[in-house]
Structure 1
Amino acid sequence: VDGPVLLVDDLVDTGWTMTMATRLLRRAGAPAVLPFALAATT
């Protein structure tokens, strides 16, 4: 990955999916991961 990644999710409940996806993207070399959720249940 050459630049920052915009991570989009439609609904965040616990945030675990975002956490794990961010971790994997960072390990793959993404310099930054910017999480964005359209809605949250909390």
Structure 2
Amino acid sequence: MSSQPDVVAGLLIGTVAGVALLRGVPVGPLIAAGLLSLFIGK
């Protein structure tokens, strides 16, 4: 993930916006994106 800082920034912004505006709705997609980034990173 250190080689793709745009992805990290996008996830952080999406998480903050989702929790603030949608009361935590994007937690599932965030977990899926995190797992996908682990598989892609290896």
Report the TM range for the smaller structure's normalisation: 0.3 to 0.5
Which of 1 and 2 has higher RCO (CA within 8 Å, sep 6+)?
Answer: 1
Greater share of helix: 2
Greater share of strand: 1
Q: TM-score, normalising length from structure 1?
A: 0.45
